[in-house]
Amino acid sequence: MPRRVNWILNLATVVVDVALIAAAFVAAYWLRRATEYPLPLSPRPFSHYTSMLVIHTLAMLLAFLLFRLYHFRRGLSRIDKTYSIAAAVSFGTITSVAITSFVYKNEFDYPRAMVVYAWALTILMVAIGRLATDYLHSRYRLANPTKVLIVGAGDIGRMLLQKISQSPSLGYQPVGFVDNASGRREVAGLPILGDTAQVGQVIRNMNVQEVIIGLPEASHSEMLDLISQCEREKATVRVFPDVFQIIASDINIHDLNGLPLLTIRDVALRGWRSAVKRTMDFIVSAAVLIVISPIMLLIALAIKLDSPGPVFYAQERMGLDARPFNMLKFRSMRVNAEEKTGPIWAKKEDPRRTRVGSFIRRHSLDELPQFINVLVGDMSLVGPRPERPVFVEQFKQVVPRYMERHKEKAGITGWAQVNGLRGDTSIIERTKYDLWYIENWSLPLDIKIIIKTAFSGFRDENAY
């Protein structure tokens, strides 16, 4: 993005933020005047709060700068943006109160309810305003796309292309691949423009602005050579890391008589974190079961009328600390569906499904009884999806650190699922996402996953 346009868009964002911060403050003033709680209320004219409005607005802008809200990152979800805005506004509110109290001491009437209203309204209004300014950024990116070269045409390269294609608002235009494999002229509809030794030449010929390297198997010397070629041509370089390279994110450095040692900390949820997660699981699952009980009753009736057999299907899965438990689902297949085949994964157009089962699996309604598993403590709302013991035995032989998924309770949904990795998808990729979730767990992350599931989890092309 040219600097001038980038500067104009940033300035527009600042202007919109200032207007909305001030509007939120004014709305908070009138809202406080309109409410009778808490008493006593001694209304003063708005002119009395003008100086406080100036301090409030400047404190918010300072907080937005400190929280890098004017550094626009492609691909950041709206939920993450809202989290950042909430954190910045909270910091700005505290700063504003502190400065006002210091400057005016006891001379200033500072209604506490008004402060709370201003805090909440600023978060809401700035978040809505960012939808408009983000739209301007995305429209410009679409009109002036960034040309991207993908290094590596293997599984990782194709996955990168798929992610780019699924997110047109990012403004990326893939021009092709660079790969050392011979005999192929194109992959997934994009041409192979040369081998890795020709990266610099391809960047010049195609006017490439950004290079994404998807060669996790490349040696250090090969990687350094690729990066060096890109930097010589002034192209931005992004590297997709080795599958398990980003997983060991919580590492401490210790000293053994002058010899540095890396210690990987146990990141399993314990203590207060486990208690917080369990409390949310219990409250939310109980509330959801009450709300969806009529829907579950209708599904149970449909299953009974559609085919002979029980309504529920209990299947053994591996949970926390690799302990088995019976996971509940609505029965979506014929009775004894695996009698001839043995344990196998469901596949697209699976002939074992019933008519009702095909519908409820497509919309993930067969998983609603798992809220009962959450309520009794066998599962969590969010966590790695549990696998059957027979598949766990297979996967742990070929996938590094696979068993570490079981340091957390299995979940109804998870980080891998909301990123499109469910059903018959790469178990290696799923494991990477599961371990990243375990090592980076937080309550806001759980809430984000639940929100993403609520908006997109009921219809997935890999759900069959």
- The reported pLDDT for the residue numbered 288 is 94
- The reported pLDDT for the residue numbered 159 is 82
Is pLDDT of 448 > 50? yes
Report in angstroms the alpha-carbon separations of 126 from 74, 97, 175.
19, 19, 36
Is pLDDT of 41 > 80? no
- Read off the pLDDT band of 246 (50, 70, 90): very low
Report in angstroms the alpha-carbon separations of 148 from 105, 372, 461.
56, 47, 27
What percentage of residues in the chain have a pLDDT greater than 90? 31
Q: Are 341 and 351 a contacting pair, CB within 8 Å?
A: no
Report in angstroms the alpha-carbon separations of 374 from 283, 287, 293, 367, 381.
10, 12, 15, 12, 7
- The reported pLDDT for the residue numbered 248 is 45
Mean pLDDT across the chain, nearest whole number?
A: 83
List, in order, residues 6 or more apart from 215 with CB less than 8 Å away: 151, 152, 154, 156, 196, 222, 223, 226
Q: Which amino acid makes up residue 405?
A: R
d(CA 214, CA 56): 46
Q: Which residues of 53-83 are buried (b: 16+ CB within 10 A; e: fewer)?
A: bebbbbbbbbbbeebebeebeeeeeebebbb
Q: Which of 176, 166, 174 is nearest to 145 (CA)?
A: 174
CATH tag, 145-239: 3.40.50.720
d(CA 92, CA 57): 9
Report in angstroms the alpha-carbon separations of 140 from 1, 161, 285, 432.
8, 21, 43, 34
Q: Is the dihedral of CA 370, 376, 382, 386 positive or negative?
A: negative
Report in angstroms the alpha-carbon separations of 296 from 293, 338, 365, 459.
5, 25, 9, 18
Question: Bigger pLDDT: 111 or 350?
Answer: 111
What percentage of residues in the chain have a pLDDT greater than 70? 84
Residues in the chain: 464
- Compute the C-alpha angle 424/176/179, nearest 5°: 80
> Does the predicted TM-score (pTM) go above 0.85?
no
User: Where do you find CATH 3.40.50.720 in the chain?
Assistant: 145-239
Strand extents, DSSP E, 306-431: 312-318, 324-330, 380-382, 411-413
Q: Is the dihedral of CA 434, 439, 444, 446 positive or negative?
A: positive
- Over range 91-111, report the average pLDDT: 81
Q: Which residues pair with 146 in a beta bridge?
A: 172
Maximum average pLDDT range among 266-275, 310-319, 341-350:
310-319
Q: Is the dihedral of CA 85, 119, 284, 367 positive or negative?
A: negative
Q: Are 418 and 380 a contacting pair, CB within 8 Å?
A: no
- Read off the pLDDT band of 243 (50, 70, 90): very low
Q: Are 226 and 239 a contacting pair, CB within 8 Å?
A: no
- Read off the pLDDT band of 106 (50, 70, 90): low
Over residues 136-146, the pLDDT tens digits come to 888 888 888 88
